[in-house]
Amino acid sequence: MRNKLISDVTFTCLDVETTGLATYLGHRMCEIGLLKFCGDKELASYSKLVNSERSIPENVIEIHGITNEMVKDELIFEDIAGEVLEFIRGTVLIAHNAEFDLGFITKHLRRAKLGIPDNLVVDTLTLARRHFKFPGNSLETIADCLAIDTDGEHRALKDVTITKEMFQYFMTKLKVKTLGELLDLQGGSIPFPEIEEITPPPVISEAMESRKKLFIKYRNASGYETERIVEPIEVNAYNGTEYLIAFCHLGKEERVFRMDRILELHPATSDS
């Protein structure tokens, strides 16, 4: 595989749009775009809006333009995961800031109880930082420098088109002949991230399984204490800190609670 000519390798450019930046804070995918090509020939494209099962914040909508109304009747990612995996099967993935996209793909595949694919991954952000001197390394800045059309940027299918053109420019300027040379220039394939596995406390696990409400007394970062009725969704961990993602009836939206700031936790009474 390493000796395969770049012109003979089938690549898939990948981009996801999301409700926020961090999977461990419960953010999810709301759109995925894929573009498969080999050499100069585009082979297939795939674009789907995804029901994120949580509200998309206004400041995020301003970036990609995907509204809650647009995704509310769409399938969740778990329902399209099989066709996504089939689309990328046997291809080398390309993404700009691949760590971000792979993080969301991994998180959603775990939610779907599916394995992580073994695709090699190329990151155009890594290549830009290592081998070029653009004034900035965002997708938009590099595209502007290369005179690549960015109209419609921040929607997944447009961003994968930009990424493909950027990648092909990089290959020409770096005079890359084989896949092995490309991987060496990058420092190896970008790995899919490992998600920290945790076991929620039994009271939370039971509430999630039975879709029951919980009472919590919570102290925020300022020391202010509140009492809330919540419906737990998931528990995540990041850098040794655990987070409860739950629908909060006090705030009437999905919220994130640090587990070490929950002072009291038990099933809510029937009249809560």
Catalytic residue among 131, 154, 249, 266: 154
By the 8 A CB rule, do 53 and 28 touch?
yes
Query: Which residue type does 116 have?
Result: I
Total residues found in the chain within this entry? 272
CB atoms within 10 A of CB 173: 12
d(CA 66, CA 180): 38
DSSP collapsed to 3 states, 140-159: HHHHHHCCCCCCCCCCHHHH
By the 8 A CB rule, do 30 and 17 touch?
yes
In eight-state DSSP terms, residue 224 is -
Q: Within 55-147, where are the H helices?
A: 58-64, 68-71, 77-88, 98-111, 124-131, 139-145
Residue 231 pairs with which residues in a beta bridge? Answer: 247
Query: Which residue type does 129 have?
Result: R
CB atoms within 10 A of CB 255: 18
Residue reference for tokens 């400041």:
59
154 part of the active site: yes
Q: What residues are labeled active site?
A: 154
